[in-house]
Amino acid sequence: MTPTLTVLLCLGLCWCPWDQVQAGILPKPSIWADPSPMVTIGSPVTIWCKGSLQADVYNLYKERVSLPWMTRILPNPSNKNSFLIKSTSSQHAGLYQCAYHSIVNMLSERTDLLLLVVTGVGTAPSLSAQPSPVVASGGHVSLSCSLQNTSGIFHLLKEGGADPPRHMESRLHAGRWQAIFPVSPVSTSHAGTYRCYVSPSSYPHVWSQPSDPLHIEVTGSQPQDYTVGNLIQMGVAGLILLVLGVLLFQARKSPRRTHHAART
């Protein structure tokens, strides 16, 4: 059987014995989501896979399974391909990878994992700052995400920030499920707008509607207590004055002694 016919028969629809052998010969592809890997339920999203100019088949894998979730056979070789999801549902949330085939070099290795998060499923939690959303630089603040009747995993996200979301299991406190995210010491980089989400523990990539935005303002440096330092400085100054007084007293007595010795 020729290599071309073998590729056309496999195309990810069956397990091919040369998959393991040939994987890694081609350049490793990359994967990303447009417009974002966080998608509101019902909205479209496109998953892009970029490979090699010799690629003529692209496979999209979901949740690390061996068989492709979607396959695209290109009429002409191309270094990238798109997989469109017209209306995102909770079933689309999860981890994705892609790989590509080449008639000459067979199968590439898979990309790094892409996490697709679907939001807008369930009631929005509330978000608050303790003791205050206005905090001095160097101080501390705690962001509390809570919900009345729903437990699960809370997710804290800073809008426009480069840092990844923070995640924490909820705990029951005063009749509400909550997660407290401490921020300490606070710096100017912590200023900005935050939102939080909640997801079931069994479906951690399906998030609720977002909380109302919470803006954290960072002011100047936190006032410091200089009492101990001032006491030390005053003590040193007093000791220096005492030494100077003793030296001055001795200096005034020395000429008298000299004069008295001369008269004698």
* Structural domains for the chain: 3-119 (2.60.40.10), 126-221 (2.60.40.10)
CA distance 178 to 148: 9
How does pLDDT run along the chain (264 residues), one tens digit per residue? 433 333 333 444 333 333 433 444 788 999 999 999 999 999 999 999 999 998 999 999 998 788 999 999 999 999 999 999 999 999 999 999 999 998 776 889 999 999 999 999 999 999 999 999 999 999 999 999 999 988 899 999 999 877 899 999 999 988 899 999 999 999 999 999 999 999 999 999 999 999 999 999 999 865 554 454 666 677 767 777 777 777 776 766 665 554 554 454
Predicted model pTM: 0.72
From first CA to last CA, the distance across the chain in angstroms is 131
Handedness of CA 19, 24, 29, 33 (dihedral sign): positive
CA distance 119 to 47: 17
For residue 237, the Cα-to-chain-centroid distance in whole angstroms is 51
